[in-house]
Amino acid sequence: MTDIVLPSDTNTYGTIFGGRVMAYVDKLASIASMRHARKPVVTASSDSLDFLGPVTVGEAIRLEGFVTWTHHTSMEVYVKIEAENLMTGEVNLTAASYLTFVALGPDGRPDIVPPVIPETDAERWHYDTASRRYEIRKRRKLERSQGLGH
């Protein structure tokens, strides 16, 4: 997914609003997870969105994403965000994120998804490290649910 950053997309520093990036990330990850599951999906969580550099007015924001791992009804999706200077062709990594999506069946309840078969070295790395991220997410969810009443 690629878009050009216009002045209306930016903050007072001339860089893209973080919320705009978050919306792009969620949209791209939704598409990747629907393509994998071939079912409707909902966003279950966003681990983090780590901003590593700016995307400025006139640059292209480029996003790539893919399903890295599945667990019964859920899918982990990795999204990489880059800034491209359209005049020079220079490309810089500007952000990265992991999100979790749940596939829904016809009854609107969670439904089984196919497994991931990693093909590239990058896909294998994300796949091999996914179970650790899954366990961290489970712990974080438990801690947050326990803290809701405090």
CATH of 2-147, one of 3.10.129.10, 3.30.70.360, 3.40.50.970, 3.90.1150.10: 3.10.129.10
Residue 12 — φ and ψ, nearest 5°?
-70, -10
| Burial label, 117 (beta-carbon count in 10 A; 0-12, 13-18, 19+) | exposed
Profile the chain (150 residues) by mean pLDDT over runs of 10 residues. 97 96 98 98 93 97 98 97 98 97 98 97 96 89 75
The CA distances from residue 16 to 8, 57, 124, in Å, are 9, 7, 31
Q: Kindly state the tokens that stand for 123.
A: 């896909």
Q: Considering the entire predicted model, what is its pTM?
A: 0.90
Q: What is the dihedral of CA 36, 40, 42, 47, to 10 degrees?
A: 10
Task: List the chain domain ranges.
Answer: 2-147
Model pLDDT, residue 80: 98
pLDDT at position 144 is 80
In this prediction, residue 13 carries a pLDDT of 95
- Name the nearest CA neighbour of 49 among 28, 35, 70: 28
Contacts of 29 (CB under 8 A, 6+ apart): 43, 65, 77, 79, 97, 99, 101
